[in-house]
Amino acid sequence: MPYYELSIETHFSAAHQLRGYPGDCARLHGHNWHVKLFICCTTLDDLGLGIDYKIMKSELKQALEKWDHYNLNDVKPFDTINPSSENVARLLFEEMKKRLNNDRLHVSRVEIAETCTAKVSYWAKDLAYIGD
Q: What's the gap between Cα 18 and its chain centre?
A: 19
The predicted model gives 20-29 an average pLDDT of: 96
Mean per-residue pLDDT over the chain, rounded:
94
Contact between 35 and 61 (Cβ < 8 Å): no
Please state, in angstroms and rounded to a whole number, the distance separating the CA atoms of residues 111 and 88.
10
Q: Please state the pTM of the whole predicted model.
A: 0.92
Q: Which residues pair with 107 in a beta bridge?
A: 39
Beta strands (DSSP E) in 2-104 are 4-16, 29-41, 70-71
pLDDT above 70 (res 26): yes
pLDDT above 60 (res 76): yes
The predicted model gives 67-93 an average pLDDT of: 98
At 131 the pLDDT is: 46
Indicate the fold that domain 4-123 takes in CATH: Tetrahydropterin Synthase; Chain A (3.30.479)
pLDDT above 90 (res 58): yes
At 126 the pLDDT is: 62
pLDDT above 60 (res 129): no
Please state, in angstroms and rounded to a whole number, the distance separating the CA atoms of residues 125 and 106.
12
Where do the structural domains in the chain lie, given as residue ranges? 4-123
